[in-house]
Amino acid sequence: MVPSMSGAEDVAALLQKFETATGQDRVAVANSLMATFAEAKLTDDVVVFNDTTPADTITQQVNYWAGEYYYATADYAASRAHAEQALPLCRATTVEADCLNLLALVCFRQADYNAAADYARQCYALDEKSGDPDLMSASLNTIAGIYLGANRPQEAEKYILKAIAQAQQADNSVRLAVLQGTASEVYHAMLDDEKSLRYAMLAHKTDSTGGRMDRAAVRLVQIASALIGLHRYSEAEATLGRAIPVLRESNDSHSLGIALNKLGKALLSQERDAEAVPVFREAAALFVRMGDVGNELHARRGLYESLWTINPDSAHIELNRFDLLKDSLYSHATAESLSRFNAEFDNEWLRQENARHHSLLNILFIGGGVLIAITGVLLWWYRRRSRMRVAALQAIVDAYQIERHTTADNVTENDKDSIVAADREFLDNVVAHVRDAMGKGDLLLETLASSLCITRGHLNRRIKEITGVTAQQFVLRIRLEQARAILHDEPSATVADVAFRCGFEDAAGFSRAFKRTFNQTPTQFRQQQI
């Protein structure tokens, strides 16, 4: 059972009082806080301080358990602040590993994977030194979760499998259920949903047998996730229907938000877009309150996809939010930190460094003739790409027959040529502005209309009159032609990279739109070019 948020104000007031109190008053406030934490089921027994308890011990315990309390209530910023206050006082004590693990989990929830990996590494080093397989399995599970959150499930797999082996050695069924649930998520991310489903069902059975119904509800969410991956959408919806009421009752906001994201996806996959919108909105609101950027990202993507056919303007707002969150999630520093930690765990860091220095030395010996050759190739490629882009833009205009103004009997041939020229000039301007907007990440029709000094309604009417399609459809065609040019010109660009550069929020949606328009997937198009 997760502590109720209704008591958070009392805890905050007591913590504020604790900061300013002295002497016996401070001890009394600390004891009130520890009683509150025990009532919230965070501690097995009530911890009681007295006048002889060292002041640093009281400060350490109060801040550590405040961090645990706020983590349980999904206030990750407050949890991290208190845990960081406790950590210096936890060094060289039995609480140090617990505090490091808490900080790793909090940073993971905040999508600060760089800090999360550092805290997890320190925690695992202490647990490994202890030789306790149960503690090691907990640390390894945290590490696996960090790699999973950083979209590196292949690396998460080895940590979670080792964690499961350690938990089996420790004969801890509660821990084993948690690890099996994590394994389910790892294999779901690896697109092996048959294996994901098996692990989720094992975890659900373990928790159900132990009478942990709130945890069993979390396992139902993981089962539903695997079912979605297997395209068994109605089964996933029914499974989530069993889990969500239990999660609401248990005050587990984090698991509830994930369940809502999964339900929205199941509804969206059944083309029930209107029903999915409020589900994704509730999930997004929960994750905003918690400061869980990674899961908010999924909710924003769901909102964008479900709103696309209902309200394109609102869909673009969600797309912009998605892009901002996506850019904030991953940085070069984070990727570098995770790679280094992974290498250290496998004792391969020195080998990789040597290989890197060897490569640098080889680069230094490249002759001037090779550089000249590369320059020539780049110039050729640039000119070829420019020709391809011009051809692609012309294809956009040529894709639509501009004949709507030229059929009246009282229009002369010269008038027809003049009208067609004006229409083509207008479409050329639209194409140029959309290309510019793609580079800036702003594809709202309002922005496009404003840049052309017309209203959005006039923009839509004019494009519809000339081409017979809506402004939204025409803009989509421009983006797809741009994508086709990039696929042709840049063989090293991934499909996902091309999708994002052309304003698509994920590779799957881009591939569907590309295939609908060109009757082949982006990969098939590229293979054809080769």
* CATH number of the domain to which 507 belongs: 1.10.10.60
43, 70, 93 - which closes a domain: 93
* Residue whose entry in the numeric block shows the structure tokens 């639209």: 430
pLDDT(424) > 90: no
Task: Express each pLDDT in 20-72 by its tens digit.
Answer: 999 999 999 999 999 999 888 787 678 899 988 999 999 999 999 999 999 88
User: 46-50, 226-230, 273-277, 293-297: which range is least confident on average?
Assistant: 293-297
Residue after which a domain boundary falls, among 78, 93, 108: 93
The string of pLDDT tens digits covering residues 429-479 is 888 888 877 766 666 777 777 777 777 778 888 888 887 778 888 888 888
pLDDT number for residue 515: 83
Least confident of 15-19, 132-136, 360-364: 360-364
Asked whether residue 52 is assigned to any structural domain, the reply reads yes
The parent domain of residue 519 ranges over 368-529
| pLDDT confidence bin for 383, thresholds 50/70/90 | very low
* Residue where a domain terminates, one of 63, 93, 123: 93
Q: How many residues does the chain have?
A: 530
CB-CB contact of 129 with 100 (8 Å): no
- Is there a domain that residue 61 lies in? yes
Q: How far apart are CA 369 and CA 345, in angstroms?
A: 42
Over residues 483-488, mean pLDDT: 87
Q: Tell me: pLDDT of 222 over 90.
A: yes
Q: Specify whether the backbone of 43 is left (phi greater than 0), alpha (psi in -120 to 50) or beta.
A: beta
Q: What total number of domains does the chain contain?
A: 2
Whole-number percent of the chain with pLDDT over 70: 79
Residue 504 has a pLDDT of: 79
Per the model's pLDDT, the better-predicted residue between 254 and 376 turns out to be 254
Q: How confident is the model at residue 392 (pLDDT cuts 50, 70, 90)?
A: very low
How do residues 176-205 score in pLDDT, each as one tens digit?
999 999 999 999 989 899 999 999 999 999
Which residues have CB under 8 Å from 323's CB, separation 6+?
441, 505
Exposure b/e, 393-426, CB count within 10 A at least 16 = b: beebbeebebeebeeeeeeeeeebeebeeebeeb
Q: For residue 328, what pLDDT is reported?
A: 64
Work out the mean pLDDT of the chain and round it to a whole number: 79
**pLDDT the model gives residue 173:** 85
Evaluate if residue 2 carries a pLDDT over 60.
Answer: no
pTM above 0.85, yes or no: no
Supply the pLDDT for residue 342: 54
**95 SS3 class:** coil
pLDDT at 489: 84
pLDDT at 225: 93
pLDDT given at position 7: 66
- Is 271 among the domain residues? no
Cβ atoms of residues 94 and 60 within 8 Å: no
The predicted pLDDT at position 6 comes to 46
The three-class DSSP label of residue 208 is helix
pLDDT (mean) for 108-136 = 86
- In our burial notation (b when 16+ CB lie closer than 10 A, e otherwise), range 52-63 reads eeeeeebbbbbb
Per cent of the chain over pLDDT 90 is: 33
pLDDT (average), residues 396-400:
48
Does residue 495 contact residue 505 with C-beta atoms inside 8 Å? Answer: no
pLDDT at 421 over 70: no
Distance, CA of 108 to CA of 124 (rounded, Å): 16
Cβ atoms 471, 464 nearer than 8 A: yes
Region label for 41, one of left (φ > 0), alpha (ψ between -120 and 50) or beta (otherwise): left
Distances in Å between the Cα of 451 and the Cα atoms of 2, 456, 466, 477, 480 are 51, 10, 19, 19, 21
Tell me which residue of 477, 474, 475 sits closest to 513, measured CA to CA: 477
The pLDDT of residue 391 is 44
- CA 506/CA 262 separation, integer angstroms: 17
Residue 524 reports pLDDT greater than 50? yes
Could you tell me which of 262, 253, 268, 270 has the C-alpha nearest to residue 226?
A: 262
pLDDT at 309: 78
Q: Are 186 and 157 in contact (CB under 8 A)?
A: yes
- Taking Cα atoms as reference points, which of 289, 340, 437, 433 lies closest to residue 114? 340
Q: What is the DSSP code string of 134-192?
A: HHHHHHHHHHHHHHHHTT-HHHHHHHHHHHHHHHHHHT-HHHHHHHHHHHHHHHHHTT-
Asked if the structure places residue 34 within a domain, the reply is yes
CA-wise closest residue to 182 among 167, 213, 165, 161: 161
Nearest to 226 by CA among 201, 189, 185, 193: 193
Cα–Cα distance measured from residue 120 to residue 135, given in angstroms and rounded to the nearest whole number: 12
C-alpha dist (Å) from residue 308 to 303, 304, 497 = 8, 6, 21
Which of the residue ranges 69-83, 346-360, 488-502 would you say has the lowest mean pLDDT?
346-360
Residue 495 lies in a domain: yes
pLDDT-derived band at 377 (thresholds 50, 70, 90) equals: very low
CB 181 within 8 A of CB 222: yes
Q: Inform me whether the pLDDT recorded for 425 exceeds 80.
A: no
- For position 452, what pLDDT does the model report? 77
The answer to whether position 390 is within a domain reads yes
The structure tokens listed for 32 are: 């009130």
Residue 518: phi, psi to the nearest 5?
-110, 0
| 45 located within any domain | yes
Instruction: Tell me how crowded residue 529 is: count the other CB atoms within 10 A of its CB.
Output: 11
Please tell me which of 206-215, 415-424, 487-496 the model is most confident about, judged by mean pLDDT.
Answer: 206-215
Give domain status of residue 331, yes or no. Answer: no
Which candidate, 289, 283, 253, places its Cα nearest to that of 2?
253
Q: What is the pLDDT of residues 97-114, one digit of tens each?
A: 889 989 998 988 887 878
